Structures are given as C-alpha cells and as structure tokens.
Amino acid sequence: MTRTAISRKDAGPEARDYRTYSFWLETAGEDLTPRPSLPGPTRADVAILGAGFTGLWTAYYLLRQDPSLRVVVLESEIAGFGASGRNGAWCNSAFPVTPDELARRFGTEATRDLLLQMRGAVDEIGRVAEEEGIDAQYFRGGQLRVARGPAQLPAIEGAYRSAQELGLEEDLRLLDAQETAERIRITGAEGALYNPHCATIHPARLARGLARAVERLGGEIFERTTVTDYEGGSNPKFLTDAGEVRAGAVVLAGEAYLARLRKLRRQVLPIYSLIVLTEPLSEAQWAEIGWEGRDCVASNRYTVDYLSRTADGRILFGGRGAPYHYGSSIQDEYDRHDVTHEMLRHTAREWFPALEDARFTHAWGGPLAMPRDWMPTMSYDPSEGVATARGYTGQGVATANLSGQTLADLILGRDTAVTNLPSVNHEPRSWEPEPLRWLGARYVQRGLAKVDDRAEQTGKPPTGKTLAERLGSH
C-alpha cells in the first residue's frame, strides 16, 4: 500500500487518496469521494468539529432525541479519516484508566457504574449497527489478555481480583496455559484472562455507515472543512476556512487533532499507534494458530500490543513505540515508522511461528490522544455553550459511543444514568510546555520499553516503582 506524497497544503480537493490511510479505509466499500465543503457562514443548533466516532455518535443521539435540531458536522478531511477509520478494530468495554486507579480516584460505586456503562456501549454499538443496517462486521468474540511469560501472570491475576472487588468478575475467566492454547496458540503464553464484553468491528465501515445514518436523521456533514478556532460565551461559534458557524452549542470532537487548536494545544498529547496486517492466512496456518473465537488479544506490556483477526482471515498486529513528535506535531509522514513497523512484524512472527512465510500486506498508523492524567473527558459548559469529549488514550471505540450518549444528554439538559459518571466534566491539568513535554514523553516512552524488556528477560514482573512507570501508567 503506497501513499501519494502530497502535503496538506498542496492537496487539491481531488488529490488525496483516502484509501491509502488504512486497510479499513481501503476496504470501506466506497471510493471515499469527499462530501461537499461548507459553502459559507451558517447557523446551527449544534455544530460539531470532527466526523470520527465521537462527533458522529454525538450527532446521532442528538438527532434521535430531537429530530428538529439543525446539527452540522465539520470535518477537515472525510468521515472516518482519523483514528476512527484506522484502529485495531477492538470494540472493548475496558476504560483507559484501570479499575483500581478509578476506584482510588472516584470510589467503588462510581467505578462500577462507569464500567457497566462501558459494557453497555459495546452492546449498543452492535445494536445500532444492526438497526441502521451498517455493515460494520460486528463480531462479539470477547477479549483475551494473555500472559506471555511468567512475568505477566501477576497482572492478569490482579485484573481478575480488581474485577472481583467491584463485583464484575462473574463472566470473566482466568485460563491456564492449556485452556489458553485451546483458544489461541501463542508462543510463551502461560495463561490469560477472558472477558466476553468485547467485539471486533470494521472501523471504517462503522464510521462511514454512522455518517450516513446521521444524514438520514437530518444531520449535515461538511467534509474538507477545517475549524481553525472556536469561541464560547453568549454567541458560541466555530471559525472555519469557509466562514463562521454560529450555534447554540459547539462540540470539540477532534481527539488527537485538537492539539492543533491554539486554545487546546496542551490538553492532549498526540501519540502514534501503528499497525501491521498479514495477507489472508491459509487453512493450514489457521489450524496451527487456532483462534476460532476471534477474540481481541493483547498481552501485558506497558508498551501495548493489540491483535485482532479480521473477517477475511488476516492477523492485525498493533502496538505503540513510535516516538512522540516535538510540539505535538501530527503529520501524514508519521503514520509510517519503519523501525516500529518492522518490530511489529518481527513480534508477530515470534508470537505465531506459522507466520514465518506469511506476507504482510499493509502497514499504517495514526495519532491517539493522551490527557495528562489518562482520564477521558466528556464535558459541557452550558454557560459557554462548549462541549467536548476526548482523551481516550487509544481505547476510544466503545468510549466514544458513551461520549456521544453523554454529550447529547448534557447538551439537551437531561439528567440520565450517563450524565453523572466520573468522566463527566472532568478537567485534567494541562501538559507541560515544550521542551519539557518532549523530554518527559520521550523519557517515559523509553523507560517503559526498558521495563518491558527487563521483565521479559528476567521473568520477574515490573515493580511499578520506576519513575517511568509512576509517570506513565495507570
């Protein structure tokens, strides 16, 4: 898969081939011709920046509840261009902050409420896809958190204990090495924690289908329209390259890209996550690997690995490790990082010897957003008319659905089960100014990689006490 080397500025309306940004966009089943741009200044009841999952779910729930609203979505590229059209296909009930850390910060009851809502979001996405006729390839295979090597066993046992403390362990299962191998054969797997509250999706089909569902409900989506600034107060508005959009409420749903707006530059840290994908595997290769249940699979590395099995029989292997870029910069060229992509191919072959001769056909990536305390925000300030949901730290597929439900209720002034969760109106502190931000992010990235390597070499679990661990994990 090659990418035409066109800079953002040079790209004319026809110049970009959006299919080259991920396997998902390539196989979205359409040619991805952009919708018309905003023709000029306008007014709306609600204006939304970003046609990813957050913006689209917010528009969807607003219009479901009040079809009379004029909802306008402004998207600088096309619907599904960002992380929503490029991710690892996990639709997972896990929240970016661990249950232990959530309970420490917000108490057991609030944590339990939040995690139950996350489980509900996984179901809800499947339900809406079905109801709206979106061919999202939603498949409820569950999730398998694998201990690769003895050093990782305490982490999965600890995760099970945390679920027990919240009374949420009922349908989780700790598997020993033999039971794990019955689901999937991974080199060095010593055990796993199985969680049924997870599905795989075709992310771009979900995003694109959701955009059409929003339009069927009367929402308007303008593509290749960039918001350059926003203002709250008595006249909330977006400033765009095609003029002002005044609205009763403006919604900032741009995740990592929000760091490009001057007012939000230090609110989220864009970190790249990268993916490699194999060709469709043969029956013999699948017989060696197993994985009939198509669970989403991860191990317990701080540096994060995530795997899924696509509907057409490929293995997707994703991970972090690409370096943070100075000044929170986001560029197309960062989507590819040869060293990291090669490391992912190498690791995939290490996990699955059956891949020795398999071809890797695709490699891509994209930016996700880390807030300073790893805690997503879903907020609305009625006095300012400004709403936002962001900071999913790479676990945003199901979370964005919860955000959409929450922002819609907050904007409509409804007091519901989702409007009192700990994520609502949460305000993380800002990231440090540069160059401290760059120094800190690079230090933590390198430090966590070293901790992972040491654990694998010594067979001893991480202590959780190194500076990098204290700074960079929750």
Question: Which spans of this chain sit near ligand FAD (rule: CB under 6 A)?
Answer: 49-55, 74-77, 81-84, 86-90, 92, 226-227, 253-257, 273, 275, 306, 318, 365-368, 392, 394-397, 400
DSSP annotation of 426 reads -
To ligand FAD, the closest distance from the beta carbon of 254 in angstroms equals 3
* Residue 337: φ, ψ to 5°: -140, 105
For ligand FAD, the closer of residues 193 and 259 by Cβ is: 259
- Provide, rounded to whole angstroms, the least separation between the CB of residue 284 and ligand FAD: 28
- CB nearer ligand FAD, residue 27 or residue 466: 27
Q: Please report, for residues 57, 121, 242, the alpha-carbon distance to residue 400 in angstroms, rounded to integers and kept in the order given.
A: 7, 9, 28
Q: Which is nearer to ligand FAD, 28 or 368 (CB)?
A: 368
Cβ-based nearer residue to ligand FAD, 191 or 365: 365
| φ, ψ (nearest 5 deg) of residue 276 | -120, 155
Q: Which is nearer to ligand FAD, 19 or 461 (CB)?
A: 19
Nearest residue to 56 via CA among 39, 30, 35, 40:
35
Bond preceding residue 376 cis, omega within 30 of 0: no
Residue 456 CB, nearest distance to ligand FAD (Å)? 23
d(CA 431, CA 108): 28
Tell me how far apart the alpha carbons of residues 16 and 7 are, in angstroms, rounded to a whole number. Answer: 9
By CB atoms closer than 10 A (0-12, 13-18, 19+), residue 338 is exposed
277 pairs with which residues across the strands? 316, 362
Using alpha carbons, list the distances in angstroms from residue 13 to 85, 224, 256. Answer: 20, 8, 23
Confirm if 384 and 282 have CB atoms less than 8 A apart: no
Greatest CA separation found in the chain?
A: 65
Q: How far is the CB of 87 from ligand FAD (least distance, A)?
A: 3
* Distance of closest approach, residue 135 Cβ to ligand FAD, in angstroms: 18
Residue with tokens 């639709």: 91
Kindly compute the dihedral angle of the four CA atoms of residues 353, 340, 156, 468, in this order, to the nearest 10 degrees: 150
In whole angstroms, the minimum distance from the beta carbon of 203 to ligand FAD comes to: 7
Three-state DSSP class for residue 26: helix
Minimum distance from CB of 285 to ligand FAD (Å)? Answer: 23
**CB-nearer residue toward ligand FAD: 262 or 359:** 262
- Name the residue whose CB lies closest to ligand FAD: 396
> In the complex, what is the shortest distance from the CB of residue 29 to ligand FAD, in angstroms, rounded to a whole number?
18
Nearer to ligand FAD, 31 or 283 (CB): 31
Q: Which is nearer to ligand FAD, 302 or 306 (CB)?
A: 306
CB-nearer residue toward ligand FAD: 81 or 302: 81
Q: How far does Cα 163 stand from its chain's mean position?
A: 22
